[in-house]
Amino acid sequence: MEDPNRDSQGVPEAIEKLDIQKPRDALPPTPPETDDGASNSSADAQVDIPLPPPSTTPEKVLDVDLKTPDAHIPRDPRLIRLTGVHPFNVEAPLTDLFNEGFLTSPELFYVRNHGAVPEVTDAEIPNWEFTVEGMVDNPLTISLRQLMSEYEQITCPITLVCAGNRRKEQNVVRKTKGFSWGAAGVSTALWTGVALSEVIRRAEPKRKAKYVCMEGADKLPNGYYGTSVKLNWVLDPNRGVMLAYNMNGETLTPDHGKPLRVVIPGQIGGRSVKWLRKLILTEDPSDNWYHIYDNRVLPTMVSPEQSANDPKWWTDERYAIYDLNPNSAICFPVHEEQVSISQGPETYRARGYAYSGGGRRITRVEITLDKGKSWQLANVEYPEDRYREFERDLYGGRMDMSWRESCFCWCFWWIDLNKEDLKNAKDIFVRSMDESMNVQPRDMYWSVLGMMNNPWFRVTIDIQGDTMRFEHPTQPALMPGGWMERVKKAGGNLANGFWGERLEGEGQEAAKVDEQKEICMIKEGLKVPITIDELRKHDTAEEPWFVLNGEVYDGTKFLEEHPGGAQSIVSAAGVDATEEFMAIHSETAKTMMTNYHIGSLDDAARTTLAAGETEAGAASETREHFLQPKVWTKAILHGKKIVSWDTRIFTFKLDHAEQKLGLPVGQHLMVRLHDPATREAIIRSYTPISEINDLGYMDMLVKVYFATNGSKGGKMSMAMDSLPIGHFIEMKGPIGKFEYKGEGLCLIGGKERRIKSFVMICGGSGITPIYQVFRAVMRDREDRTKCTILDGNRLFEDILVKEELEALSEGNDAKCKILHTLTRAPGHWTGLRGRITGKLVEEHCVRDQETLVLICGPETMEKAMHVALKEQGWQDDQLMFF
């Protein structure tokens, strides 16, 4: 760890100047504002309406967004990006979404943006204008100021669902023309605004007007985003269609339509146009490109190719989708949850959500543990109903839901399942039914756009000894995992009607979906070799070349038209984009690639690129150890725990559940990431804090060195901090000349050496490699090696893994001594003060031939210790610098 630029160790002075960002306040939800201000009076004690969860508006623009047109929007890093960096299409981790409860905070609310987000400042909000035009006698231009003052203001809870919710399941069966939503493309808010019917009536629709077309301010490759719904729906008070400028009592965030959007309850989210600019009354449905080519369920036998060749599939209004279909998902057990069969309660409470469309109530939710032979009824809670008695103002809008019996929101179900029954089952399924007796089907209805996917939601159960392990169907975006992927890899046919399983005596093939076709993406006969230098020259926004499977493509001509926006092609310039490209694009898109194919990387270029890239690791599924010394391997960011304002524990997922990291105690690994803005590769070494033998996962403790006025911050730690969950980093290793074999046996540069004690000197996150060795010594009863830790930090809060160190030292007094010294100790601090000095080492440690000093910390500290210890007579071969 000689790199002076490293992020993993050291405590730069600049930190002192930073304001400490407080962790999310666990404040109770704000009480509703009411006209009479009486919401808190005892008279209202019986009012019990769901209020928004505590919300923290993100203040920082994430690094990943800086180079995109959305660089003006601070966002929550927990959101899972489904289409790379840009455009912004995200869902929250399912468990986080579910745990928010009935209402979703704006920062975790799913986002579906077809392109860049229009920028509107707070000052511009009142002057934002939209028109009501077309077949009306009284065309209007209305400012938001007028809308807020001249119309009645209303507030209503409404769930939005993207038609693509649960699409990943379709994509695993056969790639659709759409990206991979998990089951969290659904969110709920209290919307404040005006009934759209009121606005339309003032414009006096002509008799023949039948549709309301809507248009947003987001300019996309095929024009402004727009769509339409029927005029009679808009005028029907039961349908509750509204214009909204607030969600959960706050101004709409940019991603959700700031300053004004349409909200259409009970229909797919795609109809709820954001950044509303125009309402046009027409005789026919919208002719907007996005109305025609998006939000449809084409007949299942129409292939991507057929749909691309024949526009009639797209213009047939019968295939357009409006009302949602009934749908449900299991949220608990969570994906990969493990439950002990014998320990704890006898039952397990399964929980999840359900929703339907058109205002129809979910009237039952059913669970089966035997693949549909028998069903149990789950309990259903409708938090939405609790607002029906609340006839009063909320967030400046009148809430009036008692007369209208429609259900505009999701509901929650739960059921206590006997663990004995679960033990004997292979899976848990949920299905819901609505008041029209629409019930979720057993079989998937695959279609080109992969929309409205709603087959029974299945979680599998795997019994290992006393443990039940649960698996969801998929994970969103590129995130690996889920039983569908597993079954597919094992050669199962997911469309056989039995979830890809072979059932004895029931071999009938059911719904048939064509096998995925291999699409040829290269121009036949084209033989142009391209060197790495040529490729690198086109690492530009003007002429972006990128690589797919060793072939070079020039995206320049398609930048303007690209449905994914120019930015996503530019971000791929100069690099191998195979994995992301293949995961996002449909067969249609792949067919188009021949037009952009310009040549093949020459052998030298392939080698160079491959050396820089991750090798797929041929046997990654079976490798016992994750790390490979010469090849970068990808690990997926699975979770991120915020330990303090600047410290995180990142959890990375390895290739498979049984895999070990493969790192000997005392060694490190290299981590590689690309700078989100410049895409320059950043490489640093780290030592994980998870146990060496943990299976399937590894944890890394990282201190983030934020940029300040005085310093640029730590490139790696900032890049890692802005890495979205589900994205990967690359690792290689092990490296390091030191290894601890146990019971005093060390390997230094491959040579064995026996020692009796360690002096462990560290600062800041330099504790991490030390911690691995210390834990190995303390955990092993036979190991009698003595350890003295001298850990230097600035503030008390900066001490890392303090509790863990204490837990390890408990009962081990004879074996270890842990000393913390602080340069800015609080008054009541009873430990040591000041920096780690030679004197301190002399006072607390014995110098002899059987002692080894391990040193890891900021470069200045390592240097100073080197000098001081040499002066005391320590030999170089007794000092190990990490």
Ligand X SMILES: Nc1nc2c(c(=O)[nH]1)N[C@H]1C(S)=C(S)[C@@H](COP(=O)(O)O)O[C@H]1N2
275, interface contact from ligand HEM, ligand X, Mo ion, none, CB < 5-8 Å by kind: ligand X
Quote the least distance from Cβ 275 to ligand X, whole Å.
Answer: 5
- Which of 98, 110, 191, 446 touches ligand X (CB under 6 A)? 110
Show contacts with ligand HEM in window 580-619 (CB under 6 A).
Answer: 580-581, 584-586, 588-589, 592-593, 596
Q: Give the Cα separation of 737 and 740 in Å (integer).
A: 10
Contact mark string toward Mo ion, 267..306, x via CB under 5 A? --xx------------------------------------
**DSSP-derived pairing of the beta strands 757-763 and 851-856:** parallel
Show contacts with ligand X in window 257-286 (CB under 6 A).
Answer: 257, 269-270, 272-275
- Confirm if 730 and 702 have CB atoms less than 8 A apart: no
Closer Cβ to ligand X, 247 or 433, answer by number: 247
**Binding segment (CB under 6 A) for ligand X, from list 108-116, 373-381, 516-524, 754-762:** 108-116
Catalytic residue among 63, 65, 162, 791: 162
Instruction: Classify residue 360 by its DSSP letter.
Output: P
**DSSP-derived pairing of the beta strands 751-754 and 745-748:** antiparallel
Element (H or E) spanning 66, and its range? helix 63-66
Q: Which amino acid is at 446?
A: W
Of the candidates 387, 384, 130, 99, which has an alpha carbon nearest to the alpha carbon of residue 257?
Answer: 130
Closer Cβ to ligand HEM, 2 or 518, answer by number: 518
Quote the least distance from Cβ 82 to ligand X, whole Å.
Answer: 12
Show contacts with ligand X in window 113-132 (CB under 6 A).
Answer: 113-114
- Which of 68, 83, 307, 687 touches ligand HEM (CB under 6 A)? 83
Q: Which two tokens stand for residue 767?
A: 């504790």
Closer Cβ to Mo ion, 264 or 521, answer by number: 264
Q: Which two tokens stand for residue 109?
A: 């609310």
Show contacts with Mo ion in window 114-173 (CB under 5 A).
Answer: 162
- Confirm if 177 and 586 have CB atoms less than 8 A apart: yes
Closer Cβ to ligand HEM, 261 or 623, answer by number: 261
The b/e string for 124-157 (b: 16+ C-beta within 10 A; e otherwise) is ebeebebbbbbbbeeebebebeebbeebebbbbb
Cα-based distances in Å from 275 to 88, 144, 264, 665: 15, 12, 14, 55
Burial of 745 from C-beta contacts in 10 A (0-12 / 13-18 / 19+): middle
569, interface contact from Mo ion, ligand HEM, ligand X, none, CB < 5-8 Å by kind: ligand HEM
Q: Which amino acid is at 328?
A: S
Closer Cβ to Mo ion, 114 or 794, answer by number: 114
- Which of 257, 266, 564, 769 touches ligand HEM (CB under 6 A)? 564
φ/ψ of residue 749, rounded to 5: 55, 35
List residues bridging with 551 in a β-sheet.
548, 600
Quote the least distance from Cβ 703 to ligand HEM, whole Å.
Answer: 32
147, interface contact from ligand X, Mo ion, ligand HEM, none, CB < 5-8 Å by kind: none
Q: How many CB atoms lie within 10 A of CB 814?
A: 8
Quote the least distance from Cβ 86 to ligand HEM, whole Å.
Answer: 7
Please enumerate in sequence order all residues whose Cβ is within 8 A of that of 744, keeping only pairs 6 or more positions apart, or say none: 754, 755, 756, 783, 784, 785
Closer Cβ to ligand HEM, 83 or 633, answer by number: 83
Quote the least distance from Cβ 256 to ligand X, whole Å.
Answer: 4
Please enumerate in sequence order all residues whose Cβ is within 8 A of that of 340, keeping only pairs 6 or more positions apart, or say none: 466, 467, 468
Contact mark string toward ligand X, 313..352, x via CB under 6 A? ----------------------------------------
Closer Cβ to Mo ion, 269 or 713, answer by number: 269
Closer Cβ to ligand HEM, 39 or 568, answer by number: 568
List residues bridging with 341 in a β-sheet.
none
Show contacts with ligand X in window 217-236 (CB under 6 A).
Answer: 218, 225
Q: Which two tokens stand for residue 457?
A: 């939601």
Catalytic residue among 255, 294, 427, 576: 294
- Which of 94, 135, 160, 575 touches ligand X (CB under 6 A)? 160
Q: Which long-range contacts (CB under 8 A, 24 or more apart) does 808-817 make?
A: 808/774, 808/775, 808/778, 808/779, 809/778, 812/778, 815/777, 815/778, 815/784, 815/785, 815/786, 815/787, 816/774, 816/777, 816/778, 816/786, 816/787, 816/788, 816/789, 817/787, 817/788, 817/789, 817/844
List residues bridging with 362 in a β-sheet.
434
- Which of 87, 358, 455, 724 touches ligand HEM (CB under 6 A)? 87
Catalytic residue among 113, 295, 438, 493: 295
Closer Cβ to Mo ion, 177 or 703, answer by number: 177
**H runs (alpha helix) in 226-341:** 231-235, 289-293, 304-309, 312-315
By the rule CB under 6 A, 728 interacts with ligand HEM = no
277, interface contact from ligand HEM, Mo ion, ligand X, none, CB < 5-8 Å by kind: none
Quote the least distance from Cβ 728 to ligand HEM, whole Å.
Answer: 14
Closer Cβ to ligand HEM, 84 or 688, answer by number: 84
Of the candidates 265, 97, 267, 105, which has an alpha carbon nearest to the alpha carbon of residue 183?
Answer: 97
Q: Which two tokens stand for residue 118?
A: 């229009």
Q: Give the Cα separation of 679 and 656 in Å (integer).
A: 28
**DSSP-derived pairing of the beta strands 757-763 and 786-793:** parallel
**Binding segment (CB under 6 A) for ligand HEM, from list 205-213, 417-425, 557-565, 853-861:** 557-565
177, interface contact from ligand HEM, Mo ion, ligand X, none, CB < 5-8 Å by kind: ligand HEM
155, interface contact from ligand HEM, Mo ion, ligand X, none, CB < 5-8 Å by kind: none
Q: Can you say whether the dihedral through the CA atoms of 146, 148, 153, 156 is positive or negative? A: positive
**Binding segment (CB under 6 A) for ligand X, from list 126-134, 255-263, 384-392, 817-825:** 255-263
Active site (annotated) includes residue 295: yes
Q: How many CB atoms lie within 10 A of CB 12?
A: 17
Closer Cβ to ligand HEM, 62 or 589, answer by number: 589
By the rule CB under 5 A, 177 interacts with Mo ion = no
- Which of 75, 562, 597, 648 touches ligand HEM (CB under 6 A)? 562
Q: How many residues bind ligand HEM (CB under 6 A)?
A: 28
Closer Cβ to ligand HEM, 34 or 586, answer by number: 586
Quote the least distance from Cβ 220 to Mo ion, whole Å.
Answer: 14
Show contacts with ligand HEM in window 89-108 (CB under 6 A).
Answer: 89
By the rule CB under 6 A, 246 interacts with ligand X = no
Closer Cβ to ligand X, 179 or 499, answer by number: 179
Q: Which amino acid is at 574?
A: G
List residues bridging with 548 in a β-sheet.
551
Q: How many residues bind ligand X (CB under 6 A)?
A: 20
- Confirm if 599 and 530 have CB atoms less than 8 A apart: yes
Angle between helices 767-779 and 802-809 in degrees, nearest 10 = 20
Cα-based distances in Å from 515 to 172, 255, 301, 585, 801: 11, 37, 12, 16, 51
- Which of 68, 228, 496, 568 touches ligand HEM (CB under 6 A)? 568
Q: Establish whether the linkage from the previous residue to 333 is cis, with ω within 30° of 0.
A: yes
Q: Give the Cα separation of 730 and 671 in Å (integer).
A: 6
Q: Which residues bind ligand HEM (CB under 6 A)?
A: 83-84, 87, 89, 114, 177, 179, 546, 553, 555, 558, 562-564, 568-569, 572, 577, 580-581, 584-586, 588-589, 592-593, 596
Residues of this chain that bind ligand X (CB under 6 A): 109-114, 160, 162, 216, 218, 225, 255-257, 269-270, 272-275
Contacts to Mo ion by CB under 5 A? 112, 162, 269-270
Q: Which positions are catalytic?
A: 162, 294-295
